[in-house]
Amino acid sequence: MFAVLKTGGKQYKVHAGDVLRIEKLAADAGETIQFNDILMLGGDAPVVGAPFVEGAAVQAEVIDQIKGEKLIHFVKRRRKHSSKRTKGHRQKLTLVRITEILASGSDATGVKVATGKSAPAANIAASDDLTQLTGVGPAAAVKLNDAGLTSFAQIAALSADDIAGIEAVKVKPEWVEQAKDLAKG
């Protein structure tokens, strides 16, 4: 049995036991992760998703966080008094080993769900977009989520003592007022 999964903007055809180099994921070596964006399951009875196969998942174990090969981009302009420029890049990658392909009823106990997004965007709650508050960007929204504030109603209910007790991010009083308006609708 094989599966076609999508992660990091790319698609991979995988079998159990395969080792992949994929875009960097926020996971440490030895952790088990799960990919839920499965485009196709192959084998005796192939299943093609529209766009994803419902309930299918692929579990993998993170082997290591590595860097890809060095790419060098050299530009030289001909003629007298011309210019030269050299730029290099090494992509950050995650090395994973596919452990299991689950056709249905994904078992997600104690397993991180891998998304194709970077780590800060994955932590933002889907219920309320805290970046709608003036002065709150994606990084501050992640810090608010880590402090346990995931909705406008929670921020609107903060008192001055609660604001002083939050050390992860400095909550501004204007955010509380804006959250009250946004919580109403």
Residue 109 has pLDDT above 70, yes or no: no
Give the start-to-end residue ranges of the domains of the chain. Answer: 2-116, 123-184
Instruction: Return the top range by mean pLDDT from 46-55, 101-110, 134-143.
Output: 46-55
Read off the pLDDT of residues 7-42 as tens digits, 9 standing for 90 and up: 999 999 999 999 999 999 999 999 999 999 999 999
Classify 123-184 by CATH class. Answer: mainly alpha
Give the whole-number percent of the chain exceeding pLDDT 90: 46
Q: What is the pTM of this model?
A: 0.56
Q: Are 129 and 150 in contact (CB under 8 A)?
A: no
